[in-house]
Structure 1
């Protein structure tokens, strides 16, 4: 990453924050300067807006199964939910999508550790080589100095991540000695940590907890509604679907609702909520095959009149996938398609389709057999971290 110049360091040096030895260490480095930021007090060029050539900002980071995007580049987003409702799976699913597109992703973690976060990425099927090349993990443990923040900004401007996840907003604010319940502390936190990320062009996704009292929850996370009022991207609220928890060996479902959509390009792809509830944007489905492998999908909402039928059909599809994987795991050797069909109940065409889907998604290992037949076997992947 690029370092800081002597001029930049001297501009921010404070005696109580740097020892002479630390200053000397930075000054000795051959460095390139950070670009001078444009002042927000300069008049904005309105030409593109006035002549009609300005393009609307679109959500191009992450996507549902139908291709509809989740997050806006260069904007701030909030994801609020109860504990164990799928916030981290939601974020890491998007991380994997962006890594597979060849983009750099940064994960700033205030709650877990590298083994837990990267372990989940591998459980989702992320390629270890791609993770090593394009996934940056940061675990802050103390309040940053001005030097720390300048170095952090330099790194952001150097790698230009498409996505930055900030996991644990309440914990992050405590690191900055800020209180999420104080109105004035929220914009300070945003200015200090979030703004450098969006200035580097990243879609920033902050993971937060909702208030415990569901009657008072509404559209807000813990603390001030200023989090919502100052948002310039979108805010999602995750609500677990009854009797479908996320866990090892089960399929969990969480409803993803839209609380706010400042650029107004996401909400139009959602369905209205019942009885005035938040708009239904997607269903996050985490299918855990075992502790070593899980699949995450973000399905679009289903029209109310077709909801029950669609839920039943999706349930049959998931069950068939589980049975095929269980047969492969139990077999102890690779099986061809005919052997799989003999051991799994259901229509032959459905089993053939599921095998093809599992192959396309990299959820089964495939090797050549006799007479050009394919042999399917259960994969060995990284451990599942619940």
Structure 2
């Protein structure tokens, strides 16, 4: 069982108490609504360890604070997981990951937090385990609806009477309701732990179990204004909160009915509500050629394999259940003849068990076979209906005839329509076109805080449950930034998912080890789950689909998708098409964010042309629009390499929740980004890599604007090519000046070295090459050359500013340039250069930026 859940724990286990407990308070001193009649309390005494309520809960008094008033009392009374639900509602605003099968129960710290922040919300209970006299039970609620709602009459009490006539009467027990003088209400029972429960006993009778639904209880207020209250087993209003251990045991006949013969909850999704006839009808319609001849795979992997297992092994029960499930999975993969294959295996198993070994009587054997086969189909239908497993179509084990193809298409269409209809009829699944509870939505938005990848001041950059982008040029440090976030999470004991479409497992593992991640943590898939996909999971094998489902069902603090372009290609999509980008986001990043709760970080590239580069990644602008978290542009300010200490600036380009921009520096007009952090990566010691995410010097000045002309503030490395072209041009002019024979020629050449004349020549060259004038780039590059002392300015005629070369500039000698070769500037001859003028276009086209 996952840590933090009470399911399956040994009897007597009690969760930690709230930290702020100071006193024991009676759980019978609460008050009912004024109009509720009083009555005696009759319960049996059960020996159990009591938990004290949090003192912080005592401060919240009055019916305006249902959750704050009662959460501690329910916890103290023994209810496992009191949860907040939107005030005045029966649903909406439930904490994520705290209801449903496989979800953990709320911790005491979480409950204290909800008391502080959501005290005025309604309160509901998730059913959980309870120990009575050393025996572990689950609390089960039988929810009977008998009233008129929106013109429709619910008849749960009548349906309950029919069931009681068949199965025997339900004994008196605790009931919660909001309808006085009405048979509606939730009846609570002790039931055997570890079973799989139906969702319904009848049309208007729901079953509330540890893995399904929840119960809104006192002192919550119904949307129609009535307050919920408790009735004791004698049917009298109860002033207080009952101990769940004093609930009545559910009769065996009812346990068998509601669990389909005590089906064990093995953690897998299963259809508990369809009747046997409905399950058989579904299998005959949905599975390919159910009653036909078994195909090669069904015969070899199914019949022959499992008959050998039955003959060779002394155990029996696990063989028939294993065989039925394996055959059902083969049918889901498109293999035909499940009905006939199951019949052959069942006959072989019966002969072996009854006749050859005499282990069972024929009647017992037949019942065991029946339960095993039906439960395998229930499990398969449940997984298909929930989307965990998909029908893959006809197999290739036999000739696909037109008749078979048409039959399968028709059955798939019927299933699709059936699923759609069932979804619409399910009261617990609101339609996507229904009105949204804006109060809950706004509350969720207010609570969004970035928690992953913290700066030196503690502020973080990535929001949990949101999708982010980190993009930049090659070797700009974008993957390093994501790996630093991963190392941070793992260091705190928080799981990380890394879906790698670009790199290799060895490379990623080596980097994380350098960043200080322990080998044990790195090699623990529960802590670091590394995936290197080679196929779209929607089009892969059953194993691929199941692996994807297992991944999505995990819980992570951070999920990295390294290589957006490669991932979209794998999905058969184009990053330049807005529809494809939207489709990819729905199929991968948003699925991970929604289901795992992780801060999802998509690592992407920018266009190679700096002059046409925007603040979003290369391709469609929808890459930015689809994000519901933040987008960051990374720019290498100094190289990242073994044996060196490098620096990467991180600029926020989008911040949908709006909690990061206020931490950043000045707003840069040229690309509308703000400097939010500096990643310092020190690899001078080749055995390790130390990193720090530092606060920028101008942090907190996000409302200020860089005092530069439009187009200023471009990343330094983007200007390197322009700087070299200016330098070469001026070097050529100065050589011509040295060779001039008269003063008039010298003056004419010097006049070409003013700011406007230089920009005019450079802009003309850009236009000739089809790149536009790039006016701002040339003027800013000229200023950088002056600021960094490659050029000096002297006064010319009429006070003009003449630019003179002090030392030639070459991008290959500049550590901030992508063309840096490591040559020391000390080896460069002053002013003596091998060639003059503008570089050959073919040699430098990449730097001008044609996208490849």
Same fold (TM over 0.5): yes
Judged with a 3 Å threshold, the aligned counterparts in structure 2 of structure 1 residues 293 and 145 are, in CA distance, closer, same or farther, namely same
Q: 1:99 aligns with which of 477, 480, 490?
A: 490
Match of 1:112 in 2: 503
In structure 2, the partner of 1:80 is 471
Partner of 1:60: 451
CA distance in 2, matches of 1:5, 1:57: 31
- Equivalent residue for 1:186? 581
Distance in 1 between residues matched to 2:286 and 2:503, nearest whole Å: 31
Gaps of 5+ in 2: 3-101, 103-266, 272-282, 290-296, 303-324, 331-375, 389-427, 700-852
Distance 1:302 1:137, change over 3 A: same
1:224 partnered with 2:620: yes
Q: Who is 1:270 aligned against?
A: 664
Q: Distance in 1 between matches of 2:621 and 2:577?
A: 10
- Contact preservation (8 Å) 2:471, 2:603: yes
Residues 334-353 of structure 1: pairs in structure 2 closer than 5 A: none
Q: 1:127 offset after TM fit, Å? A: 1.2
Note the C-alpha offset of 1:254: 1.1
What are the ranges of 5 or more consecutive residues in structure 1 without an aligned counterpart? Answer: 305-386
Whether 1:140 and 2:549 are equivalent positions in the alignment is no
1:180-235 superposed Cα distances (whole Å, 9 cap, x missing partner) = 11121101111111122011211100000011111111212110000111210000
Matches within 5 A, 1:115-194: 115-133=506-524, 134-145=527-538, 147=542, 148-149=544-545, 151-157=547-553, 159-194=554-589
Larger mean Cα displacement after TM superposition, 52-61 or 126-135: 52-61
TM-score computed with the length of structure 2 as normaliser: 0.32
Contact kept? 1:269, 1:281, Cα under 8 Å: yes
Shift in CA distance, 91/160, structure 1 to aligned 2, threshold 3 Å: same
Instruction: Look up the match of 2:202.
Output: none
Structure 2 residue matching 1:206: 3-state secondary structure = strand
Q: Which residue of 2 aligns with 1:294?
A: 689
CA distance in 1, matches of 2:445, 2:641: 46
Shift of 1:161: 0.8
1:41 aligns with 2:468: no
In the alignment of these two chains, the number of paired residues is 295
User: How big is the shift at 1:142?
Assistant: 1.7
The whole-number CA distance in structure 2 between the counterparts of 1:170 and 1:240 is 21
Could you tell me whether the CA contact under 8 Å between 1:98 and 1:162 is conserved in 2? yes
Q: Structure 1 CA distance, aligned partners of 2:610 and 2:328?
A: 50
Distance 2:648 2:592 in 1: 28
Higher RCO (CA 8 Å, separation ≥ 6 residues): 1
Which has more strand, going by share of residues? 1
Aligned position for 2:599: 203
User: Structure 1's 303 and 40: CA in aligned 2 closer, same or farther, altered over 3 A?
Assistant: same
Contact 1:153 1:196 in 2 (8 A): no
SS at structure 1 position matched to 2:600: strand
| Partner Cα distance (1:255, 1:235) in 2 | 14
**1:42 Cα deviation from its structure 2 partner:** 4.0
1:45 Cα offset (Å): 2.5
Once residues 75 and 14 of structure 1 are traced to their aligned partners in structure 2, the CA distance between those partners, rounded to angstroms, is: 40
Give 1:26 deviation, angstroms: 7.7
Cα deviation per residue 1:299-347 (whole Å; 9 max; x = unaligned)? 111039xxxxxxxxxxxxxxxxxxxxxxxxxxxxxxxxxxxxxxxxxxx
Distance (whole Å) between structure 1 residues aligned to residue 683 and residue 557 of structure 2: 28
Match of 1:280 among 661, 664, 675: 675
Q: Is the 8 A contact 1:59 1:71 kept in 2?
A: yes
**1:54: how far off?**
6.7
CA–CA distance in 1 between the matches of 2:495 and 2:287? 31
Rounded to whole Å, the distance in 2 between the matches of 1:49 and 1:111 is 37
**SS of structure 2 residue aligned to 1:70:** strand
Normalised by the size of structure 1, how large is the TM-score?
A: 0.68
Inter-partner Cα distance in structure 2 for 1:202 and 1:53: 16
Give the CA deviation at 1:162. Answer: 1.1
Which has the larger displacement, 74-83 or 55-64?
55-64
1:252 lines up with 2:643 in the alignment: no
Structure (1 or 2) with the larger CA radius of gyration? 2
CA contact (8 A) 1:4 1:26 kept: no
Once superposed, what is the RMSD of the aligned Cα atoms?
3.3
Cα distance between partner residues in 2 of 1:14 and 1:280: 59
Alpha-carbon spacing, 1:149–1:262, altered in 2? closer, same or farther (3 Å):
farther
**CA offsets, 1:36-88, max 9 Å, x none?**
987533432334467x7974311012211111111111100000011111111
Aligned residues of 2:472 and 2:478 also touching (Cα < 8 A)? yes
Which residue is equivalent to 2:189? Answer: none
1:155 Cα offset (Å)? 2.9
Q: In the superposition, relative to structure 1, how do residues 25 and 225 fare at CA in structure 2: closer, same or farther (>3 Å)?
A: farther
